Amino acid sequence: MTLAAHSGWKDLGTRPHRRGLSLPSGYGLPVLVAACALLFGALPMLRLAGAAFAPGGEFAPEAALAEIGSRAAVNATLHSLETAFLSALGALLIGGTAAILLAVTDVRGKRPIAFCLVFSMMIAPQVAALAFLSLFAPHSPILALFGLSPAPGTPNPLLGRGGIALVMALHHAPLVAITLWTGLRSVPHSLIEAAEMEGAGPATIVARILLPVLRPQIAAAALLAFVAGIGNFGIPALLGLPVNYLTLPTLIYRRLSSFGPAGLPDAAALSVLVALVAGVGILAGLLATRRAGAKVEIERPLQPFWRLGRARPFVASGLCLLLVLKLGLPFLALLGEALTPALGVALSWQSLTFDKFTEVLLRQDVTVRAFRNSLLFAGSAAVILALLSIGFAYALERRMGRARRAVEVVIELPYALPGVVLAIACILMFLKPLPVLGVSIYATPFIILFAYLARFMPLALKAPLAAMAQIEAHHEEAARLDGVTLWQMLRFIVAPILAPAATVSALMVFLVAFNELTVSALLWSSGTETLGVVLFSLKEAGLAGEAAAVAISASAVILLAMLTLDLLAKRLPQDVLPWRI
């Protein structure tokens, strides 16, 4: 690609320099990136630690340690650990099996199956919990068709520890699959060919070669699922709170909902405890991936080598059955609940009604406002982060040098740690008016937007960083020789090249933020309700049909965004979309 091919480049040499818009050519952009990393990553966490262990500015950890050691905190910690551990095992078994089958066999329909797996993870955890609650409820129209519906009046079998672990395992299984797909791409196919020349069969190759090679990725995937289970709020809230089975995130939510701002010191101490528990898992995951060694260029990546023969339709059927159990039946139960006029009414052509969809999409002010707010918050965060990601990707790849890794770690903190930790940190950070300005953004939409920007910045940087690494530096060197300022270089050279990657970043951020609950559940106020908050509130109020209608509508938006991303896949860097295997 020549320099003249870039939009607007051919006239740059004759344009007068705009000194007012130009950024310093040396350290201006790296300093700006580092400042944003501190603002979004370090300051909230420092404020949280200060509120827990140094209230009033003086080191006094006694109250925080007493709260961390209380019976409620200990029980919630044990509940979090057991559900996260059990769900991680289940996710590893389900997601690992699916990843191996899709990567190494010649089973048909790989891409649609992978798409559906990732879609099941992209929908909000509280939607997944609500779907399974509807499926196993005593009035379930789906189970009634098979004569398996529980007797009226019996408790839902998913309430409590077992249900939380099961639903989280199913929800986090695609996370394991994506991690293993990444590891499988780094396996050279020559390794498989050498084993085949020695007479090894496909099962032997998987058991004695692939699995040992993937041991670091397997450990990292399991730890990733464990950390996701520790920080999950939506599933334990819907399946645990009704039976008083509290995990750390739901205990924090209950403290704040019961005591308001007066409960902030206890919530800060509990948030530090969540961060410590999750941090152990994160560090273990980093150590596991480090054992995999540095990435090396391979001549030919792993290709499917297991010819299933007559077993091919059975393997495809097994994967489809997983999708039916994980995605199809729960959503049919949700749809049945949303389309019937009342609980217990069998779904038929005579009883079918769209009144609940009309109610939540057109009539109820709070649900209409929640859709608008979620679109606004998720869309604004997506656009802002997509624009920032261009300059950030350039600075991190070209200008940060040895400081790059440290800046990336700070940026990744809000995304790596559970959302409840970030939410409490934001409350503490913005409860008082901002210095100098004297304006408070607490209980305003801006605190939610700030939290979204902090939490999803690492996600927004993934695709632009991958694209920036593929751009040859001689374009920029030629531009500097021609006297082009940094601002002009970013605008006319870097931005057009990174625009497709920034677009996919925006859509990925929108996907995750649109149904978000963990952060907004603690930051919302009257008028700033999000879809996750409204869905949770409707379920708590006993309006399961209306909650199901909201869940189905929100999931349809996510599906539309994922299909849009899939259509843009050819213009994106390779391996950016997790379902394109």
The ranges assigned to domains in the chain are 26-52+82-337+353-571
Q: What is residue 9's DSSP assignment?
A: G
pLDDT average, residue stretch 405-422: 87
pLDDT the model gives residue 19: 40
Question: Is the dihedral angle over the CA atoms 411, 415, 421, 423 positive or is it negative?
Answer: positive
Range with top average pLDDT, 83-97, 190-204, 264-278 = 83-97
Q: What does the alpha-carbon distance between residue 498 and residue 263 come to, in Å, rounded to a whole number?
A: 45
What is the residue type of 364?
A: Q
Closest CA to 386 of 459, 494, 478: 459
**Three-state DSSP state, 436:** coil
pLDDT cut 90: percent of the chain above it: 31
> By CB neighbour count within 10 A (0-12 exposed, 13-18 middle, 19+ buried), where does 414 fall?
buried
> By CB neighbour count within 10 A (0-12 exposed, 13-18 middle, 19+ buried), where does 244 fall?
exposed
The pLDDT of residue 167 is above 90: yes
- pLDDT digits 0-9 by tens, 356-381: 899 888 888 999 999 999 999 999 99
Annotate 380-399 with DSSP letters as a single string: HHHHHHHHHHHHHHHIIIII
pLDDT the model gives residue 298: 62
Look up residue 541 and give its two tokens. Answer: 């109020």
The pLDDT of residue 212 is above 80: yes
Cβ atoms 524, 447 nearer than 8 A: no
Give the CA distances from residue 330 to residues 75, 128, 229, 323, in Å, rounded to whole numbers and listed in that order.
Answer: 30, 8, 20, 10
Average pLDDT, the chain: 84
Look up residue 439 and give its two tokens. Answer: 């304006």
The pLDDT of residue 384 is above 90: yes
CATH number, span 26-52+82-337+353-571? 1.10.3720.10
pLDDT band at 474 (very low <50, low <70, confident <90, very high): low
The pLDDT of residue 405 is above 90: no
Closest CA to 6 of 568, 398, 478: 478
Annotate 120-145 with DSSP letters as a single string: HHHS-HHHHHHHHHHHHSTT-HHHHH
**Size of the chain, expressed as the number of residues it contains:** 581
Q: What does the alpha-carbon distance between residue 275 and residue 298 come to, in Å, rounded to a whole number?
A: 38
Closest CA to 498 of 580, 341, 385, 376: 385
pLDDT the model gives residue 320: 93
pLDDT average, residue stretch 535-543: 86
pLDDT the model gives residue 22: 41
The pLDDT of residue 151 is above 80: no
Cβ atoms 286, 412 nearer than 8 A: no
Q: What does the alpha-carbon distance between residue 264 and residue 278 come to, in Å, rounded to a whole number?
A: 20
Show the CA angle centred on residue 449, arms to residues 253 and 48, nearest 5°.
50
Look up residue 61 and give its two tokens. Answer: 């950890």
pLDDT average, residue stretch 43-71: 88
Q: What does the alpha-carbon distance between residue 130 and residue 547 come to, in Å, rounded to a whole number?
A: 8
The pLDDT of residue 7 is above 50: no
pLDDT average, residue stretch 327-334: 88
pLDDT the model gives residue 409: 85
Q: What does the alpha-carbon distance between residue 113 and residue 316 come to, in Å, rounded to a whole number?
A: 9
pTM, full prediction? 0.84
Cβ atoms 158, 245 nearer than 8 A: no
Cβ atoms 390, 498 nearer than 8 A: yes
> By CB neighbour count within 10 A (0-12 exposed, 13-18 middle, 19+ buried), where does 364 fall?
middle
The pLDDT of residue 21 is above 50: no
Q: What does the alpha-carbon distance between residue 263 and residue 177 come to, in Å, rounded to a whole number?
A: 39
| DSSP percent split of the chain into helix, strand, coil, nearest 5 | 75, 0, 25
pLDDT the model gives residue 316: 93
Cβ atoms 6, 496 nearer than 8 A: yes
pLDDT the model gives residue 475: 65
The pLDDT of residue 8 is above 50: no
The pLDDT of residue 2 is above 50: no
**Three-state DSSP state, 306:** strand
Cβ atoms 128, 168 nearer than 8 A: no
**Three-state DSSP state, 258:** helix
**Three-state DSSP state, 105:** strand
Q: What is residue 6's DSSP assignment?
A: S
The pLDDT of residue 145 is above 80: no
pLDDT average, residue stretch 450-473: 86
Residue 402 CB neighbours (<10 A): 6
Cβ atoms 274, 230 nearer than 8 A: yes
The pLDDT of residue 503 is above 70: yes
- pLDDT digits 0-9 by tens, 254-308: 888 877 777 788 888 999 999 888 888 888 877 776 665 545 556 677 888 899 8
What is the residue type of 4?
A: A
pLDDT average, residue stretch 67-94: 94
